């Protein structure tokens, strides 16, 4: 079968999923339909916001479905009417069997980790938070348990010590588009030899990648400097690590932290103690040194470099970050 004759249904929602869809469309593959999340209100004005995948699908005049429930009979019938040979899922939702088992060639997923490591909703964040020096992308066939299907292909990607989650995300997004196309080609020419994840060699323990919530992002200063540094870059720029500082007057302010530096310096200060000259630097005591904060954001304000913030904001002597114990 030629790629022009292979009927593909694509499922995805965020920016990460647009690149793979774009590669398929621009590569001349026959995308007969796109499925994305329902529109939702966003921002202060609660304006209806289209998902990035919907925006791209509309620009390309691709047929589109936005089901509230994936088991809804009307949706299942509409999906069946597209007569897909293959379904591709990138950053979408957990599919019921009636959906993933529908096409004759199956349904494969692009996941932003080297499965079986980091099964779950936030694999890129957790790889950086945990200080990994390597991650990757995986295509695999869907089955009942989430992120456990047979692996088709993988690509490994180094993580530099200075990379934040945005940098790693963009690397994986670009490579993911290519891998999706390569996986479709391999399925088309019959060269696919899927491997069970149970048979794959794994170095160290398997780590999960659960969804990240606000409380997940709170900094615990009573940790080694490297651990806090990785935590900050693993959540930057979104959703962003945060902490609260409190001054001697009892005023508490929540602060988002985007960039930092490791300062390996012995001290006897309590974790969360702030050292600053009020002009150029803001260092926070950790278990084995200091975390030098380079950029941060106060409530209702824009993100600023530390030097910019200190020019217009007086940090009272004795202000400390409240530790998250």
- The per-residue pLDDT for range 204-217, each reduced to its tens digit, is 899 999 999 999 99
Res 308: pLDDT: 96
Query: Does the pLDDT at position 281 exceed 80?
Result: yes
Side-chain-side CA neighbours of 203 within 13 Å: the count stands at 5
Joined tokens for residue 26:
């621009």
Q: Could you say which DSSP state residue 75 is in?
A: H
**Domain ranges (residues) in the chain:** 7-199, 215-321
Res 131: pLDDT: 98
**For the residues 91-104, what does the mean pLDDT come to?**
96
Res 175: pLDDT: 98
**For the residues 146-167, what does the mean pLDDT come to?**
96
* 33: nearest Cα among 4, 55, 62: 62
Res 145: pLDDT: 85
Res 275: pLDDT: 96
Q: Does domain 7-199 have CATH number 3.40.50.300?
A: no
**Binding residue ranges:** 113-116
**Binding residue ranges for (6S)-5,6,7,8-tetrahydrofolate:** 113-116
Please answer whether residues 296 and 257 qualify as being in contact, where contact means their C-beta atoms are separated by less than 8 angstroms: yes
In this predicted model, which residue has the larger pLDDT, 219 or 248? 219
Q: Does domain 215-321 have CATH number 3.30.390.50?
A: no
Res 324: pLDDT: 62
- Residues 182, 238: Cα–Cα separation, whole Å: 30
Query: Does the pLDDT at position 255 exceed 80?
Result: yes
Res 325: pLDDT: 52
| 107-154 residue pLDDT tens | 999 999 999 999 999 999 999 999 999 999 999 999 888 899 999 999
Percent of the chain with pLDDT over 70: 98
Confidence of residue 38 (pLDDT cuts 50, 70, 90): very high
Res 185: pLDDT: 98
Res 215: pLDDT: 95
- Residues 249, 319: Cα–Cα separation, whole Å: 9
How high does pLDDT run on average in the chain? Answer: 95
- Residues 305, 312: Cα–Cα separation, whole Å: 12
DSSP string, 166-220: HHHHHHHHHHHHHHHHHHHHHHHHT----B-GGGS--SS---B-PPP-TGGGB--
Confidence of residue 249 (pLDDT cuts 50, 70, 90): confident
Joined tokens for residue 324:
């998250």
**For the residues 10-33, what does the mean pLDDT come to?**
98
Res 44: pLDDT: 67
Burial class from Cβ neighbours inside 10 Å (0-12, 13-18, 19+) for residue 12 reads buried
| 49-75 residue pLDDT tens | 899 999 999 999 999 999 999 999 999
- The overall pTM is greater than 0.85: yes
């Amino acid at each position: 079968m030629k790629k022009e004759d292979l009927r593909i249904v694509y499922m995805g929602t965020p920016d990460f999923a647009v690149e793979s869809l774009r590669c398929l469309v621009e590569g001349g593959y026959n995308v007969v339909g796109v499925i994305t999340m329902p529109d939702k209100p966003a921002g202060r004005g609660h304006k209806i916001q289209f998902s990035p995948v919907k925006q791209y699908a509309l620009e390309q005049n691709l047929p589109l479905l936005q089901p509230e429930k994936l088991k809804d009979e009307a949706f299942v019938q509409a999906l069946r009417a597209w007569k897909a040979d293959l379904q591709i899922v990138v950053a979408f939702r957990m599919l019921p069997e009636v959906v993933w088992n529908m096409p004759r060639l199956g349904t494969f997923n692009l996941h932003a980790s080297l499965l079986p490591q980091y099964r779950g909703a936030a694999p890129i964040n957790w790889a950086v938070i945990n200080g990994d020096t390597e991650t990757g992308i995986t295509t695999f066939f869907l089955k009942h348990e989430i992120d456990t299907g047979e692996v088709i292909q993988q690509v490994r990607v180094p993580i530099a010590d200075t990379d934040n989650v945005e940098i790693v995300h963009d690397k994986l997004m670009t490579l993911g588009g290519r891998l999706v196309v390569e996986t479709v080609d391999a399925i088309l020419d019959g060269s696919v030899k899927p491997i069970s994840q149970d048979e794959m060699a794994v170095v160290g323990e398997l780590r999960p990648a659960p969804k990240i919530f606000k409380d997940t992002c709170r900094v615990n200063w009573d940790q080694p400097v490297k651990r806090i540094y990785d935590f900050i870059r693993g959540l930057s720029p979104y959703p962003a690590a945060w902490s609260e500082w409190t001054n001697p007057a009892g005023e508490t302010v929540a602060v988002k932290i985007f960039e930092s530096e490791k300062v390996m310096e012995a001290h006897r200060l309590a974790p969360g103690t702030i050292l600053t000259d009020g002009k150029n630097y803001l260092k926070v005591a950790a278990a084995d040194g200091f975390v030098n904060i380079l950029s941060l954001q106060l409530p209702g304000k824009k993100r600023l470099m530390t030097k910019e913030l200190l020019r217009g904001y007086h940090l009272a002597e004795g202000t400390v970050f409240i530790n998250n114990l």
